[in-house]
Amino acid sequence: MTDRVMVFAPAPILTVTIEQRSGEPDLHVHPGGQGVWQARMISALGVPVMLCAALGGEPGSLLEAVLAGEDFDVRSVTRQSASGWYVHDRRDGQREPVAEHAGRALDRHELDELHNVALTEGLRSSVAVLSGPHKPSVVDAAVYRRLAADLTANGVRVVADLSGDYLTAVLEGGVSFVKVSHEELLDDGLADDDSVESLLAAGRKLRGQGVEAVLISRAAEPALAIWSDTECEVHPPPLSVNEHRGAGDSMTAGVASVLARGEPVASLMEQALRTGSAAGALNVTRHGLGTGRAEAVHELMSRVRIEPL
């Protein structure tokens, strides 16, 4: 086991975006999906990353090629159906979907292979980040339960940025740190409303299910964090928003990069929250999801305010 992070990204997507540059259309092709964006930020913060995914068809071949250009390692298994993709048009400054396909559901043989690959790489890491697919129809939640249980039982710290059936699955399997948005808590019926007390009550319930620490993002409002005997608000540094998407993924990535040190969660939480909040705040200033310079994150960390509740 090393200070490395395994990111479980079962079904990454190929993203094609058309933008306007110097009066002409400009094409951008990138790997996408929550796990890819998280892996990118963790790597940017100087922590080695292994991303585990299933790739297939022509989109999968293109994904394999563009993933090779990232600053993290990839282990993939072959899926029989094509990987998911989308095409977005941003030439007028707005994101307009042109076409998209999430991909077919991974079958049980593909999930078994992916589980084994992720388990192997997870056991070689100090932290395993379990990220969700672009669409829930693509991956059975049972594989998350199995993977969380197997990694936790073997001493690997599991970080989950999930909701719905996937969150339920990892809670049953075993998870150390959960990041969830207030909208997801409301959608899942875990919180009665978006008040601070209601969200804290939901966080306490998650803690009661064996989670060591919970981080609840609240869009433009300060995040809420709960661990040990501490409940607090996390205020990010004020920065202009360029692209709001991806802030939560970068927040999770920042936390995971600190938890990878392997020390007790309670002793790492303040720095983990500062790193996560700074990474999330920086990400919204950029077009690229999961991007940002480590030196900027480190400068912003001292400007994150953590206020006890």
Is residue 224 classed exposed, middle or buried when 0-12, 13-18 and 19+ CB atoms within 10 A define those classes? buried
Q: Looking at the 3D structure of the chain, how many domains does it have?
A: 1
Q: Of all residues in the chain, what percent carry a pLDDT higher than 70?
A: 95
Over 60: is that where the pLDDT of 290 sits?
Answer: no
- Contact between residue 251 and residue 281 where contact means Cβ atoms under 8 Å apart: no
pLDDT tens-digit readout, 129-168: 999 998 999 999 999 999 999 999 999 999 999 999 999 9
| Residues ≥6 apart with Cβ < 8 Å to 210 | 171, 174, 175
Three-state DSSP state, 59: helix
CB count in 10 Å sphere of residue 114: 25
- Contact between residue 235 and residue 242 where contact means Cβ atoms under 8 Å apart: no
The string of DSSP codes covering 178-215 is EEEEHHHHHHTTS-SSSSHHHHHHHHHHHHTTT-SEEE
CA distance 178 to 208: 12
Q: What is the DSSP letter of 104?
A: P
Q: What sections of 137-181 are H helices per DSSP?
A: 142-153, 164-173
CA distance 233 to 248: 15
Report the chain's mean pLDDT, rounded to a whole number.
93
Nearest to 248 by CA among 148, 178, 155: 178
Over 90: is that where the pLDDT of 241 sits?
Answer: no
Structural domain containing residue 21: 2-308
Residue with tokens 């100090």: 126
The strand ranges marked E within the chain are 2-8, 13-21, 24-32, 49-55, 73-78, 84-89, 96-101, 125-131, 157-161, 177-181, 213-218, 221-227, 230-235, 305-308
Q: How confident is residue 283, by pLDDT bands cut at 50, 70 and 90? A: confident
Give the CATH number of the domain where residue 187 resides. 3.40.1190.20
Question: The whole model's pTM is what?
Answer: 0.93
Element (H, E) at 57: helix 57-67
Question: What is the distance of C-alpha 94 from the center of its chain?
Answer: 24
pLDDT tens-digit readout, 23-78: 899 999 999 999 999 999 999 999 999 999 999 999 999 999 999 999 999 999 99
Residue 68: strand pairing partners: none
Residue with tokens 């400007």: 303
